[in-house]
Structure 1
Amino acid sequence: MKKIIFAGCLLLTLGQTVTLAHAETTRYISDDLSTWVRSGPGNQYRLVGQVNAGEAVTLLSTNPETHYAQIRDQQGRTTWIPESQLNDNPSFKVRVPQLEQQVKTLSDKLANIDTSWNQRTAEMQQKVAGSDGAINQLKEENQRLKNALIVAQKKVDAANVQLDDKQRAIIMQWFLYGGGVLGIGLLFGLFLPHMIPRRKNKNRWM
């Protein structure tokens, strides 16, 4: 009789072992409670302690008949807990520091971006100011050249007027010289015959 009972217990233990999943994965205790853990996969096993809400534990196996999960907590204890009290996602206890770190990282990046943007804006303003200065200098130089061109044009116009006056004066002088020569020639033509004595015609006297 004792052998039969021992064999049955052995088979039951082996059956439980076969039905357990042995892949070790991380699970998290539900955030809304601190739960008791037991020494075996069922309510009939004694309570051996507690695990804190949000604590990360390692899932060792599950019992599909009792829906209990075998876990190893952060203290190294191997116990059993109802499978419904485990979550796949990290708890708020874990996620809040992560989110805070992400917020800090993003805030630092934003501050760096803001600083970089301000620096670039200042550089662009300096470049624009420099460009405005260069543009103003070019405008002033252009105006100066325009004024110089106007003065030079006036000088050219004045020189052309003087040249025209000189040309007219030269033409008038040539006209005067030509008129004088013509007048002298005309006078010579008029008075020269009277100044030369005429020969008497012998045939006339005879």
Structure 2
Amino acid sequence: MKHFISFFLFCFTLISPIANAEQAHYISDNLFTYLLKGPGSQYRIVGSVNAGSPVTLLEKDNGYSRIKDAKGRTGWIESKFISTDVALQERLPVLETELTTVKAKLAEALSTNDNKHSDLNSALAQRNSQISTLETRNTQLQNELTIAQDEVRSLRAKIDTQKDDLLMKWFTYGGLVAGVGLLLGLLLPHITPRRRKRANGWA
């Protein structure tokens, strides 16, 4: 049990070192240690100090240390029971505060990450919607272009047909005009002399 607590205190020391640890000393026994009248086990016990209690180191002598506890009492204890590591009961609130801070930062980071993911998903959905709209519009334009191309081909065919009809009409009119001209050319010479003869006869 004693070794387990020492290892536990050592792990907490690595996680959260305390400044000026060399100026403070603590009782490191697992329960309590006796406070003696002098630097040796032959001296009578004048009290006890609980584990983790802060003490002031006054002097050392032959494996014993004279200390002053928080109650103002002075006495001697074995030096092996004194540690410069901050007691767990003092470090625990600090560790709890640090843990609360870390949890808050983690929650904030997760919230920020969720917000970023939400913004990205929203932007992605918006882009997908825009792409879908553009694709629909592109399909519509392609259909309209196909219809327009069909109409252009139909109009060109009509224009070509009208050109052919117009040429046929011109050829027909030209033939008629030529025929009428030829006919008049043949008839006029015969008609003109008769009129002159008749005119001469009446005279």
What TM-score comes out, normalization by structure 2 length?
A: 0.67
Counterpart residue type for residue 80 of structure 1: W
Distance 1:72 1:154 in 2: 107
Higher mean C-alpha displacement, 115-124 vs 186-195:
186-195
Equivalent residues in 2 for 1:57-206, closer than 5 Å = 57-59=55-57, 61-63=58-60, 65-188=61-184, 190=186
Residue 32 of structure 2: aligned partner: 34
Give the deviation of 1:29 after TM superposition: 0.9
* Per-residue CA distance 1:21-41 (angstroms, 9 max, x = gap): xxx721221142311123444
SS of alignment partner, residue 24 of structure 2: strand
Unaligned runs of 5+ in 1: 1-23, 198-206
Distance 1:56 1:95 in 2: 12
Residue 48 in structure 1 maps to residue 43 in structure 2: no
Unaligned runs of 5+ in 2: 1-21, 194-203
Contact 1:31 1:92 in 2 (8 A): no
Give the deviation of 1:116 after TM superposition: 3.2
* Per-residue CA distance 1:25-79 (angstroms, 9 max, x = gap): 21221142311123444445443221101222233x432x412223232223333
Aligned length: 173
* Per-residue CA distance 1:77-133 (angstroms, 9 max, x = gap): 333322111122223333444444433333333333333333333333333333332
SS of alignment partner, residue 84 of structure 1: helix
Counterpart residue type for residue 151 of structure 1: I
Higher mean C-alpha displacement, 167-176 vs 100-109:
100-109
Residue 20 of structure 1: aligned partner: none
Identity of aligned residues (%): 38
- Structure 1 or 2, whichever has the larger Rg, is 1
Distance 1:87 1:79 in 2: 16
SS of alignment partner, residue 176 of structure 1: helix
Distance 1:62 1:71 in 2: 7
